[in-house]
Amino acid sequence: MIDFVTQHLHAIWPFILVGFVAQLVDGALGMAFGVITSTLLVSVLGMPPARASSTVHIVEVFTTAASAISHALHRNVNWRLFATLVIPGMIGGITGAYLLSNIHAEVARPFVMGYLACIGLYLLWRAWRMAKGQIHRSARFAGPLGLVGGFLDAVGGGGWGPVVTSNLLVQGTDPRMTIGTVNTAEFFLTTVISAVFIVNLGWEAFTLATLGLIAGGLLAAPFGAILAKRVPARQLLFLVGTVLTLTSLFSLSKALGLV
């Protein structure tokens, strides 16, 4: 393994860098790993959407495991919310992975990206209006939200964080606990999605890109949890809104053929 990586270092290091940056953002803000890596694999490498999604989810089995452990150690997880999200999320993920493996499911992507861009703008407005010491509310409709988020994540190669984290934050939940909880639940989601893709598509997703993304993601995972714990809630909300708006608008433009 080490000899293989050394021999192909010139080809693998860009993926290590992408994996590191994507996981650092994802660990700190609860989103964007799938969006960043899927965009690279589909737009730059020309990989088919189903193959790109399977690659991303196989990588995320490793990165989300490391991220979940880090968030748990830093006490960033609301275990009651986790229990409400994880089972519906896995059901939605299995359904979405099966459909993407067997039919074309890109029609809904522009609508989803447009919706997420609007949510991002709303979160920016909320961050601007947020007062210090604001009381956070409990999550509502977490089960159905997990079901939809899991399905969209499998179909789009990313979407669990943007859909679930952003909608929970809109409800007024604590940003730090929301990010840690959603990231922890994502490990179980990505594991079942990867299993479905492997059954339907085989093991072709294990490439040099996969190894590089795994290496970079594992290196970054501990730092994301630290950032989520130490950055104030208002700044976290602002950063989430900014990343969500920019990535969603880019994905929307790509889906519409504008870029």
Question: Where along the chain do its domains lie?
Answer: 2-255
Answer for the pair 134, 174: CB distance below 8 angstroms, yes or no.
Answer: no
* 250 confidence band (pLDDT: 50, 70, 90): confident
Please, is 48 exposed, middle or buried when counting C-beta atoms within 10 Å of its C-beta (0-12, 13-18, 19+)? exposed
Encode pLDDT of 13-59 as tens digits. 878 888 888 888 777 777 777 777 776 666 666 666 667 767 777 88
Pick the residue with more confidence: 7 or 119?
119
Q: What percent of the chain has pLDDT over 90?
A: 2
Encode pLDDT of 231-244 as tens digits. 776 777 677 778 77
Cα–Cα distance measured from residue 211 to residue 157, given in angstroms and rounded to the nearest whole number: 17
Pick the residue with more confidence: 66 or 87?
87
Sign of CA dihedral 134, 181, 54, 97: negative
Encode pLDDT of 89-117 as tens digits. 999 888 877 776 665 555 656 766 676 67
The verdict on pTM exceeding 0.75 is no
Encode pLDDT of 171-211 as tens digits. 878 888 888 888 889 888 888 877 877 777 666 656 677 78
Cα–Cα distance measured from residue 54 to residue 155, given in angstroms and rounded to the nearest whole number: 10
Cα–Cα distance measured from residue 36 to residue 21, given in angstroms and rounded to the nearest whole number: 9
What dihedral do alpha carbons 46, 48, 49, 51 form, nearest 10°?
Answer: -110
